[in-house]
Amino acid sequence: MFQQKQSSSWISSHWWKVTGSLLVLYSIILGLLGEVPVLPILHESVRNLYFHVTMWFGMLAIFSISLYHSIMYLSNTNIKNDIGAEKFANTGILFGTLGIITGSLWARFTWGAWWVNDPKLNGAAISILIYFAYVVLRNSMDEEQKRAKVAAVYNIFAYVLMLVFVMVYPRLNQVDSLHPGNGGNPGFSSYDLDENMRIVFYPAVLGWILIGIWISKLAVRAEVVVYNQLNISTENNIDKNEEIL
């Protein structure tokens, strides 16, 4: 009976980690070996859709969770929310950097250059720099409460600017963009995402989001351990078993 309860508890706590890992593994295997449409210019490089675009979806989801923790910190001043905002932002930066790298590789093979003057590319780069500034801002202040409050407010503005640069501005019809779905170009249509690709792409998006959450939660737990060790003689210890999204 005890073993059954223990097994049930493990499944309820870790099912999403297993799901994320399996979905990513599934998308990598089929992304490299599965059937893709024969398209002019893109050719086999269309497979990068499974790796490049999913990074941006993952980044948006992870930054959204970071934003949530910043808002929660301003609401209740729970230091674990500040830690959550920082660690999820760091993971979002990782995903965004991977998105830029995979996009640069894709641009080299489709547009003939590692980087072009495209509003989507420039907006993505600016957004990542804004979040790098968030990291620098946090490291520039030593006082815990002041750092947490200032970083939380900055994170809210950073998120809004990221949405403007990545999601809003490139989609304006007046803006000339090479990216599908931007500058008036159709995106995620039957041309660049057929049925065979959809059954790989959407699971890949979900899988990478779950992996991003897992990475962030591990970083939060590690930071909580360090925080408690530094505050071992005070009453400011954080419950390491307290759940955080």
Segments in the chain forming alpha helices (H): 2-33, 49-76, 79-110, 119-139, 144-163, 195-230
What the block records as the tokens of 34 is 């599965």
pLDDT at 183: 45
pLDDT at 2: 47
pLDDT in tens, the chain (245 residues): 545 555 566 666 788 899 999 999 999 998 888 777 776 666 777 888 889 889 999 999 999 999 999 999 999 989 999 999 999 999 999 999 999 999 888 888 877 888 888 788 888 999 999 999 999 999 999 888 999 999 999 999 999 999 998 887 777 766 666 666 554 444 555 555 677 788 889 999 999 999 999 999 999 999 988 888 877 655 565 655 555 56
Residues 6+ apart with CB under 8 A from 107: 113, 114, 115, 116, 121
Residues 6+ apart with CB under 8 A from 56: 95, 96, 99, 124, 166
How far is the CA of 37 from the CAs of 55, 225, 231, in angstroms?
22, 49, 57
Single pTM value for the model: 0.86
